């Protein structure tokens, strides 16, 4: 019987993000290309004889109670399967928090997978994904990982071929952008340019990195770039530094750029790391 579980919880970026409309339940109908990158949290889990859920983390401001998405994930399975034992979870966080990189959702996804293994629940990946959507719209994708077209609120997933190898530079400016603010201020009927998501699917099928990068676009930038000029400035800096394409991930504020040339990627990464207005920067690849 497995008593311990370790897993890397990967961050995701959106290579394309389109909003098609607003649903009656208040959610937005989305169309996105999702991709996991090699920026990750490390999660360690252990079964404990004492009941209950305990969380420890290296990030002081994160909740360790029922407000933590890892707690919600563990609790969901404990209630459903009437698990009498407990679980201890240690989160070593590196993914920027509230950054558009689905860090919390990825942690929750790792916990669902870990609980399934440790407590031998016998759930299939699809069953875990169906449960995961109750915690968050991105959780099913974070269980699946890799490259996917996400539709609906992000839970309808179609796997796609991985993009060709390249370097990815990510930078999170030191500003707080609330997801609620971004969606609340998006005027869906005034979106002037929708990204060509079908074109990106085509580019992935062809294995054409340049075409994929040329078609990168995120309609949510219409809200954030005017409010937070630093987001646009980072994009410019990446493109001037030789990125094939650069955009904001999710509802931001993290910006990422794709580079064919490793040296150019390193140079831009170093510049960004020295910028006092940038809180976290990474040089990464596609994952897993
Ligand atoms: P998304 O791309 O799905 O919008 P995000 O990167 O914007 O995700 P997260 O980092 O997942 O946002 O977390 C957003 C909020 O969730 C934070 O305010 C944080 O306090 C809370 N939270 C709860 N559990 C976690 C967790 N395990 N890791 C990070 N944040 C968490």
Short-list 98, 163, 120, 112, CA closest to 142: 112
Q: Which atom, in ligand 1's list, is nearest to the CA of 12?
A: 2
pLDDT digits (tens, 9 = 90+) for 5-17: 999 999 999 999 9
Q: Are residues 116 and 72 in the same domain?
A: yes
The whole-number average pLDDT for the span 81-85 is 96
Confidence of residue 88 (pLDDT cuts 50, 70, 90): very high
What spacing in Å lies between the alpha carbon of 204 and ligand 1's midpoint? Answer: 29
The whole-number average pLDDT for the span 191-196 is 94
Q: Which atom, in ligand 1's list, is nearest to the CA of 105?
A: 11
pLDDT digits (tens, 9 = 90+) for 116-129: 999 999 999 999 99
The whole-number average pLDDT for the span 155-161 is 97
Short-list 1, 27, 28, 30, CA closest to 16: 30
Q: Is the pLDDT of residue 164 over 80?
A: yes
Does residue 253 have a cis peptide bond before it, meaning omega lies within 30 degrees of 0?
yes
Confidence of residue 238 (pLDDT cuts 50, 70, 90): very high
The whole-number average pLDDT for the span 167-180 is 96
Q: Are residues 155 and 189 in the same domain?
A: no
Separation of alpha carbons 279 and 276, rounded Å: 7
97 lines ligand 1 (CB under 6 A): yes
Q: Are residues 15 and 155 in the same domain?
A: yes
Q: What is the pLDDT of residue 186?
A: 95
Q: Are residues 139 and 171 in the same domain?
A: no
Q: Are residues 53 and 100 in the same domain?
A: yes
Q: Are residues 17 and 117 in the same domain?
A: yes
* Enclosing domain of residue 83: 4-159
Looking at 159, 185, 212, the residue that finishes a domain is 159
Q: Are residues 112 and 134 in the same domain?
A: yes
Q: Give the residue carrying structure tokens 């069953």.
A: 127
Q: Are residues 146 and 173 in the same domain?
A: no
Q: Is the pLDDT of residue 4 over 90?
A: yes
Q: Are residues 188 and 142 in the same domain?
A: no
Q: Are residues 105 and 13 in the same domain?
A: yes
Looking at 159, 187, 207, the residue that finishes a domain is 159
Q: Are residues 211 and 113 in the same domain?
A: no
155 lines ligand 1 (CB under 6 A): no
DSSP string across 50-118: S-EEEEEES-TTS--STTSHHHHHHHHHHHHTT--SEEEEEEE--SPTTSSS-HHHHHHHHHHHHHHHH
Cα angle for residues 12, 90, 97 (degrees, 5° grid): 35
pLDDT digits (tens, 9 = 90+) for 40-80: 999 999 999 999 999 999 999 999 999 999 999 999 999 99
Q: What is the pLDDT of residue 192?
A: 86
Q: Which of 10, 12, 40, 97 to mutate to test the pocket of ligand 1 (most atoms within 8 A of CB)?
A: 97
The whole-number average pLDDT for the span 260-266 is 98
Output the pTM of the full model.
0.97
Q: What is the pLDDT of residue 2?
A: 83
Nearest residue (CA) to ligand 1, atom 4: 100
Q: Are residues 94 and 177 in the same domain?
A: no
| CATH code, domain carrying 180 | 3.30.70.890
Q: What is the mean pLDDT of the chain?
A: 97
Looking at 127, 159, 191, the residue that finishes a domain is 159
Q: What is the pLDDT of residue 228?
A: 97
| CATH code, domain carrying 9 | 3.30.230.10
Q: Is the pLDDT of residue 1 over 80?
A: no
């Amino acid at each position: 019987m497995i008593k311990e579980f370790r897993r890397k919880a990967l961050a995701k970026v959106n290579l394309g993000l389109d909003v098609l409309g607003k649903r009656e339940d208040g959610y937005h109908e989305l169309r996105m290309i999702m991709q996991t990158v090699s920026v990750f949290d490390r999660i360690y889990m252990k079964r404990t004889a004492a009941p209950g859920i305990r969380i420890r983390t290296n990030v002081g401001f994160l909740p360790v109670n029922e407000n933590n998405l890892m707690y919600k994930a563990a609790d969901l399975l404990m209630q459903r399967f009437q698990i009498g034992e407990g679980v201890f979870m240690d989160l070593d966080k590196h993914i920027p928090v509230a950054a558009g990189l689905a860090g919390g959702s990825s942690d929750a996804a790792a916990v669902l997978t870990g609980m399934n293994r440790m407590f031998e629940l016998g759930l299939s990946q699809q069953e875990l994904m169906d449960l995961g959507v109750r915690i968050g719209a991105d959780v099913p994708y974070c269980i699946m990982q890799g490259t996917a077209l996400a539709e609906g609120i992000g839970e309808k997933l179609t796997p796609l071929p991985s993009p060709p190898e390249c370097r990815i530079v990510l930078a999170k400016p030191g500003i707080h952008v609330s997801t609620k603010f971004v969606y609340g201020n998006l005027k869906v009927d005034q979106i002037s340019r929708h990204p060509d998501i079908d074109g990106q699917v085509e580019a992935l099928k062809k294995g054409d990195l340049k075409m994929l990068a040329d078609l990168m676009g995120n309609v949510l930038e219409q809200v954030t770039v005017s409010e937070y000029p630093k987001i646009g400035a980072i994009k410019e800096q990446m493109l001037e530094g030789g990125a094939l394409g650069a955009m904001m991930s999710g509802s931001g504020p993290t910006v990422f750029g794709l580079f064919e040339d490793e040296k150019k990627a390193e140079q831009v990464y170093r510049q960004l790391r020295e910028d006092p207005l940038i809180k976290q920067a990474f040089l990464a690849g596609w994952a897993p």
